[in-house]
Structure 1
Amino acid sequence: MTSTLTASKPHNPLLAVVITVFNESDNILPVCEELCTVLTDLPPAEVIIVDDGSTDTTQQKLLEAKVHLLPQLRIIVHPTRMGKSAALRSAIRAAHAPWIATMDGDGQDNPAFIQTMLAARHTYETTHGVKSPAPLIVGVRRKRRDSFSRRFATRLANTLRQHLLHDHCPDTGGPLKLFQRDLFLTLPHFEGLHRFLPALMQSYGAPLICIETQHRARLHGHSKYNNMNRALVGIFDLLGVLWLQKRTRPLPPLSER
């Protein structure tokens, strides 16, 4: 069950910037402040942040951000932690915009790259036509600001995933992504979905575009995941996504006569 702390009237946004957070009270205000500086360069956008069951003062900080930084901010609250994929789904279901840009709330992502992703989408549509399948654009973190053990585990997981799923994405877990809202809501929902968007969306016909992005150190705190729990859960998810890939049969466009 979710609740909405604040609700702004729809203003026909073209883009929804979606952030999911869990116990990021020290980071979320600087993240919102940086995002505020780039919104003027973006199409009309709504900002939706999901507090996924935080036990610190994240909610209060989000309300401060709405008052002082982002009056268009919409805040969705999960009373208990449901996981990142569920938080993304809550935000994307609530979005009014047809396009979704995702990023993390720990300060590691530079929101200026949202404009770069939009430019890549525009280039694709200019080349292939607006009636072509809408692309998924993924920000690839070339220079990771993580510990050696995490970088090694990520490289190993990426190698195994690409070998089995053939998703052609070197960094499927990169938080910076741009995609169509309707396509995301078409996908089968499960916790861990966010790590397999390239494979699943390509199964539904979405072309993949990868762009290089900047990866920064967390502003404060530490990751909520460790290498072991990510690896154990990831193996089961990987096998499940492999099965979904083989069983997916997207419906063709409807034609009545």
Structure 2
Amino acid sequence: MSQSPQPSLSVVIPMYNEIENVTAMVARVHEGLADYRGSWELLVVDDGSSDGTPQALQREAEQYGRHVRVVELRRNFGQTAAMQAGIDEARGELIATLDGDLQNDPADIPRMVDHLLEKDLDLLTGWRKNRQDDLLLRKIPSRIANRLIGKITGVRINDYGCSLKIYRASVIKQVRLYGEMHRFIPAWVAAVVPPSRIGEIVVTHNPRVAGESKYGISRTFRVILDLLSVYFFMRYRARPGHFFGSIGLALGSVGGLLMVYLGFVKFILGEDIGTRPLFLIAVVCVIAALQFLTTGVLSELISRTYFESSKRQQYAIYRREDEPQLDDDAWSTPTTPDSGDDKDTSHA
């Protein structure tokens, strides 16, 4: 008895100045997906390489066939933009992403697809449990970042930095990636689906054997700044006035209490308050409170304009694959008392 076919799959790989890995990478993807029980395509996004990577990719595409597609960006936009371009161009029901440096193993993809379908997940991310990287420059900063991101976002996984992930296309296409936000994809996906539909599985991680790493210790500081943006957008994107307004009310309360105290000192005790540092602090708190409250109102207006002009919703409906399609007859029919006929009790 033959096994049932699997969903169509798009494998997205961003590459930047990886000419030494092009041939081996394309070959490894074909080896890893040789027994995949479904149609698949390989999309390699060249992120403005200057070392001949796009030309090498075109030669591989001509050799393997039309299922290998090369997406060339006009200049170097960064890994996040390259990944978003690949997701936009993908045609599969499932989308797999991985790095082009061969540290991720494409042979893990079929196993990850099976796990995602079996557990009915929307995102399955890889966990490089036996990571083949430098301990001081890569492993320790990554562990600290993973714990910090999990604590702040509420999506607790062991390896946010692993590029090997499997998504349902219907979910990931609702998420837009900007800046360097590819590190926080599970957190962004959690804004569309519950964290229970995000899973993690141990994957193979190989040492880099060719090319140069594009990451350094400076990435740690950028992660902290990006994390502040993620925290704000996850909690206050649709209600930014609550964020700024809370700060404004807190400062206003402090300033107001100080003013009341200074008023008591001035008018009841008859003491001079004009030269007191406390008076300056109170004035600054009141002015800052007014500014934060005003900023909150303006941010609410901008937020409403954004949602209305872009036609974006503040919610996402979960549709089951086996959910029947509604038609014009899917309505409850009103009945009238009639002793001679059976009552119509049909329901949608």
Q: TM-score range by the shorter chain?
A: 0.7 to 0.9
**What residue is the counterpart of 1:142 in the other structure?**
129
**What residue is the counterpart of 1:89 in the other structure?**
84
**What residue is the counterpart of 1:212 in the other structure?**
202
What's the Cα RMSD here?
2.0
- Check the 8 A contact 1:36/1:70 in 2, yes or no: no
1:70 and 1:40 map into 2 onto residues whose CA distance is 15
Q: State the 1:122 CA deviation.
A: 2.1
TM-score by length of 2: 0.64
Structure 1 stretches of 5 or more lacking a match? 1-12, 126-133
- Higher-RCO chain (CA-CA 8 Å, sequence separation at least 6): 1
> For 1:168-183, what aligned pairs fall within 5 Å after superposition?
168-183=156-171
**What residue is the counterpart of 1:151 in the other structure?**
139
Query: How many matched pairs?
Result: 236
- Check the 8 A contact 1:89/1:185 in 2, yes or no: no
Q: State the 1:203 CA deviation.
A: 2.2
**What residue is the counterpart of 2:116 in the other structure?**
121
Change (3 A) 1:253 1:36: closer
Which amino acid is the alignment partner of residue 241 of structure 1?
A: V
Structure 2 stretches of 5 or more lacking a match? 1-6, 238-313, 320-325, 332-348
- Check the 8 A contact 1:49/1:76 in 2, yes or no: yes
Q: Which structure has more helix as a fraction of its residues?
A: 2
Change (3 A) 1:167 1:63: same
Which digits, 9 at most, give the CA deviation of each residue in 1:117-152, with x for residues without a partner?
Answer: 111022113xxxxxxxx5200010001111122111
**What residue is the counterpart of 1:61 in the other structure?**
56
TM-score by length of 1: 0.86
Which amino acid is the alignment partner of residue 212 of structure 1?
A: V
Aligned partner of 1:16 among 10, 15, 36: 10
**What residue is the counterpart of 2:230 in the other structure?**
241
Secondary structure of the 1:183 match is helix
Which digits, 9 at most, give the CA deviation of each residue in 1:164-221, with x for residues without a partner?
Answer: 1121111011111001223222124312221111111122115111100011011202
- Check the 8 A contact 2:32/2:108 in 1, yes or no: no
1:195 and 1:203 map into 2 onto residues whose CA distance is 15
2:25 and 2:68 map into 1 onto residues whose CA distance is 13
- Check the 8 A contact 1:33/1:69 in 2, yes or no: no
Q: State the 1:253 CA deviation.
A: 6.1
**Which 4+ stretches in 1 moved above 3 angstroms?**
251-257
Please tell me whether Structure 1 or Structure 2 has the larger radius of gyration of its CA atoms. 2
1:20 and 1:226 map into 2 onto residues whose CA distance is 18
- Check the 8 A contact 2:84/2:176 in 1, yes or no: no
1:81 and 1:252 map into 2 onto residues whose CA distance is 36
Secondary structure of the 1:19 match is strand
**What residue is the counterpart of 1:39 in the other structure?**
33
- Check the 8 A contact 1:140/1:211 in 2, yes or no: yes
Which amino acid is the alignment partner of residue 146 of structure 1?
A: D
1:123 and 1:47 map into 2 onto residues whose CA distance is 24
Which range moves more in the overlay, 33-42 or 136-145? 33-42
Change (3 A) 1:70 1:139: farther
